Structure 1
Amino acid sequence: MDPRGGNHEQQARYFAGLAVPDGAALTEAQEELARAVLGVVLLVGLPPYSLEAAADGEETGVGLAPVPGRPHALRVLWRQDATATLYLPADLAHAQQAAMHQALRTILSAHQFWVEDGPVGEAPVVLGLTRPGAT
């Protein structure tokens, strides 16, 4: 599947299970949230992380991780190219990672997801499709 074209909803369903880097199982609520998050990720032109592509050496993309003890929450992670980060100074790789996490936080918030407040540059935690009280 091409993450840059086609039906975003269909592709989001396809990538939902593949976007969890360690292959952890998602709850039903997390699966629904994963499809919605990945739909937005695809809409804005970012590649989703894929376990299948990672097996072929393509590790870059937006990954998802269940939040321990929170069956309705997902952490949204930017996975930098592992090989490229080997050649970057550590502070530059960290700055890029933080910038991508902040961009994801901004994009998801703009699309009305309920994103937990957290430190700038930390991978955002998405709590729901909409923030309570949002119109």
Structure 2
Amino acid sequence: MDPRGGDHERQARYFAPLAVLDGAELTEAQEQLARAALEVVLLIGLPPYNLEAAADGEETGVGLAPVPGRRHALRVLWRQDVTAALHLPAELVHAQQAAMHQALRTILSAHRFWVEDGPAGEAPVVLGLTRPGVT
């Protein structure tokens, strides 16, 4: 499936299990968050991480990871191109990673996801589709 266009909802359902890093298991609540978050990711034009493509060396994209011990929380991470990162200074790779995580935090918050407060540049943790008290 091509993540560059089409029905974002359908594509999010397709990519949700493929975007989970290390093939981790998601709870039902995390799966719902995964599909919704990936729909936004696709809508804004970022590629989702794809476990199948990563096996062929294409590891760039927005990945998902369950938060240990928190059945309703999902971490949304940016995976940089590993090969490109090898040719850049470590501080530049770190700055790019932090910038992408901050962008994801801002975008998900703007789309009214309940995003846990955390340090700038850290991968955002999504707690719900809407922040409590927001309509």
Q: TM class, shorter-chain normalised?
A: over 0.9
Identity %: 86
Q: Normalising by structure 2, report the TM-score.
A: 0.99
1:15-26 alignment to 2 at 5 Å?
Answer: 15-26=15-26
Q: Give the match's secondary structure for 1:123.
A: coil
Cα distance between partner residues in 1 of 2:3 and 2:108: 18
Structure 2 gaps of 5+ residues are: none
Residue 86 of structure 1 corresponds to which residue in structure 2?
Answer: 86
Query: What are the residue-to-residue correspondences of 1:18-57 with 2, within 5 Å?
Result: 18-57=18-57
- CA distance, structure 2, for counterparts of residue 4 and residue 71 of structure 1: 30
Show the counterpart of 1:12. Answer: 12
After superposition, the C-alpha distances for 1:1-45 in whole angstroms (9 at most, x for unaligned) are 111101100000001101012000100110011000000000000
- 1:125 shift after superposition: 0.2
Residue 116 of structure 2 corresponds to: 116
List 4+ stretches of structure 1 deviating above 6 A: none
Give, in whole Å, the separation in 2 of the partners of 1:129 and 1:52. 27
Match of 2:73 in 1: 73
Question: What TM-score do you get using the length of structure 1 for normalisation?
Answer: 0.99
Over aligned residue pairs, what C-alpha RMSD do you find? Answer: 0.4
Report 1:52-63 matches (<5 A).
52-63=52-63
Q: Distance in 2 between matches of 1:15 and 1:42?
A: 10
Look up the match of 2:107: 107
Distance 1:72 1:91 in 2: 33
Unpaired segments ≥5 residues, structure 1: none
SS state at 1:22 partner: helix
Q: Distance in 2 between matches of 1:70 and 1:20?
A: 16
Query: Deviations for 1:39-72, whole angstroms, at most 9, x for unmatched residues?
Result: 0000000000000110111100000000000001
Q: Give the distance between the partners of 1:21 and 1:66, measured in 2 at CA.
A: 9
